[in-house]
């Protein structure tokens, strides 16, 4: 009876996820679901991630959605020609995909049985009619699916060679409260994953700038922007989300609010000094106004982000991952000049570029250089909210770089009231995979 109930629930969840992927928002609203809540649960626009639907089916649906009628018709004809059967008129691409699945011309693969997916026929047809972007898309979803199969096969092979039980990170990911590090390290070479203990995760420095005043020191006046910096409404939501998230991951939190440019550097230096040999990592989160390569102190004086990185590149942290998360504008340009009701941006024009050049560093910027970073005055910033949501939902089976890829995907798909958009950017010199785990 329990098995029947579970299967029924899985079937319902799969249907619900499928409708969300197909963006059947009106239907979902009519039957009482919150489409925004479902979007945050299932990440419908992120092709590689699926919870109940087979991930390759989701990817193939997105593939079909990329094609207009003319291209879809050309691709269908090419596929039928490749299989040596006569083409059929007025078939939608989804129907063609079903035919390919039924005659096993394309294979979805199975993580349970260790079977890799195979889209060679479809990929070859795309190349034959010069659909190179679509071919690259297919390669990406195949690679993402198959690498998990190969990873498991390698772990089983390594465990067999060592004559030890295969108790690797698959177990630890489903049981994050257990003996996480022991199981991860037993099946990964030291070059694959950083050590992470929730009991000694490390330090998170959270610098939250809400209000600003204009510096009066004559020696610094030339650095003060022409226009006064506005209060950053909505940043409290981001602060609370980050506090809760990293507390669950076991970090010791240092919170600094409304501090000057000089105090920002002092706070980073203090956080670095608090790192002990047993700690696994250091994270610095900067929530402020900004311009290209810089963030502002509460006294409206900018600090170069590369100066913060230099402080973090301390021998105390050699070999440990150092994460710098920057929620601030990198310029003032928006996709549209239309005013944004309830939306603001964190920045000014100008500045100079900077980039991470240190080992074991990851710098995640809320937006690309030269552009504004959008923040909702009631719901928080697009970037920080997506980052926290995806870390909470994916930390158990994805490492930080894959999670950030999903964040970029979903943030880039958002639109403001005037069709404004933004794209986060990630710079990384991480030499291993970083997995987070919750404290027990």
CA atoms within 13 A on the CB side of 161: 8
Range of lowest pLDDT (217-226, 300-309, 348-357):
348-357
Angle, CA of 134, 424 and 329, to the nearest 5°: 145
Cβ atoms within 10 Å, residue 310 = 14
User: Judging by beta carbons within 10 Å of its beta carbon (0-12, 13-18, 19+), is residue 419 exposed, middle or buried?
Assistant: exposed
**All domains of the chain, ordered by start, with CATH?**
44-151 (no CATH), 198-332+355-429 (3.40.50.1460)
Range of lowest pLDDT (32-36, 262-266, 416-420):
416-420
pTM: 0.59
pLDDT at site 434: 96
Range of lowest pLDDT (37-46, 212-221, 378-387):
37-46
pLDDT at site 152: 62
Confidence at 256, pLDDT banded by 50, 70, 90: very high
Cβ atoms of 437 and 196 closer than 8 Å: yes
pLDDT at site 309: 92
Q: Averaged over 194-204, what is the pLDDT?
A: 95
Four-CA torsion 140, 146, 148, 153, nearest 10 degrees: -150
Confidence at 171, pLDDT banded by 50, 70, 90: very low
Q: Is the dihedral of CA 426, 185, 112, 173 positive or negative?
A: negative
pLDDT at site 339: 40
pLDDT at site 388: 95
Tell me: pLDDT of 185 over 60.
no
Tell me: pLDDT of 404 over 70.
yes
Please give the Cα distance from 69 to 89 (Å, whole number).
12
Confidence at 393, pLDDT banded by 50, 70, 90: very high
Cα distance from N-terminal residue to C-terminal residue, the chain: 32
323 three-class SS: strand
Four-CA torsion 55, 56, 62, 66, nearest 10 degrees: 160
pLDDT at site 424: 87
pLDDT at site 165: 45
Q: Averaged over 94-120, what is the pLDDT?
A: 89
pLDDT at site 315: 85
Where b means 16+ CB within 10 Å and e means fewer, 55-65 reads bbbbbbbbbbe
pLDDT at site 278: 94
What are the Cα distances from residue 89, in Å, to 80, 322, 362? 11, 57, 51
Nearest residue to 235 (alpha-carbon basis) of 174, 290, 273: 290
pLDDT at site 57: 92
Tell me: pLDDT of 354 over 70.
no
User: Judging by beta carbons within 10 Å of its beta carbon (0-12, 13-18, 19+), is residue 77 exposed, middle or buried?
Assistant: middle
User: Judging by beta carbons within 10 Å of its beta carbon (0-12, 13-18, 19+), is residue 160 exposed, middle or buried?
Assistant: exposed
């Amino acid at each position: 009876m329990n098995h029947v109930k579970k299967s029924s629930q899985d079937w319902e969840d799969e249907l619900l996820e499928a409708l969300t992927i197909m963006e059947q928002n009106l239907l979902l609203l009519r039957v009482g679901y919150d489409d925004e809540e479902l979007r945050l649960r299932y990440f419908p626009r992120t092709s590689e991630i699926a919870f109940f639907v087979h991930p390759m089916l989701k990817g193939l649906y997105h593939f079909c959605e990329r094609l207009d009628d003319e291209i879809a018709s050309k691709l269908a004809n090419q596929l039928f020609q490749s299989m040596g059967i006569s083409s059929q008129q007025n078939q939608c691409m989804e129907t063609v995909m079903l035919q390919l699945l039924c005659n096993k011309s394309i294979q979805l693969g199975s993580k349970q049985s260790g079977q890799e997916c195979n889209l060679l026929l479809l990929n070859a047809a795309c190349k034959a009619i010069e659909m190179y972007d679509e071919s690259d898309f297919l390669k990406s979803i195949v690679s993402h699916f198959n690498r998990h199969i190969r990873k498991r096969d390698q772990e089983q092979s390594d465990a067999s060679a060592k004559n030890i039980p295969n108790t690797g990170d698959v177990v630890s990911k489903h049981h994050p409260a257990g003996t996480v590090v022991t199981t991860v390290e037993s099946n990964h070479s030291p070059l694959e994953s950083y050590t992470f203990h929730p009991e000694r995760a490390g330090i998170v420095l959270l610098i939250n700038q809400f209000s600003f005043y204009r510096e009066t020191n004559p020696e610094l006046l030339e650095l003060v922007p022409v226009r006064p910096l506005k209060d950053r409404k909505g940043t409290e939501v981001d602060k609370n989300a980050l506090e809760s998230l990293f507390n669950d991951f076991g970090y010791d939190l240092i919170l600094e609010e409304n501090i000057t440019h000089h105090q920002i550097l002092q706070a980073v230096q203090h956080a670095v000094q608090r790192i002990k040999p047993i700690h696994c990592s250091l994270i610095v989160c900067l929530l402020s106004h900004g311009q290209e390569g810089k963030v502002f102190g509460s006294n409206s004086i900018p600090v170069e982000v590369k100066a913060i990185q230099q402080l973090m590149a301390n021998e105390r942290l050699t070999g440990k991952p150092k994460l710098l998360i920057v929620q601030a504008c990198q310029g003032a340009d928006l996709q549209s000049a239309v005013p944004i009701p309830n939306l603001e941006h964190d920045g000014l024009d100008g500045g100079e570029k900077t980039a991470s050049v240190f080992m074991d560093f990851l710098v995640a910027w809320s937006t690309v250089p030269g552009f504004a970073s959008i923040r909702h005055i009631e719901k928080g910033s697009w970037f920080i909210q997506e980052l926290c949501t995806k870390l909470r939902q994916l930390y158990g089976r994805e490492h930080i770089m894959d999670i950030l890829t999903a964040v970029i995907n979903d943030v880039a798909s958002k639109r403001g009231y005037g069709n404004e958009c933004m794209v986060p950017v990630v710079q990384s010199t991480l030499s291993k995979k970083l997995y987070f785990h919750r404290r027990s």
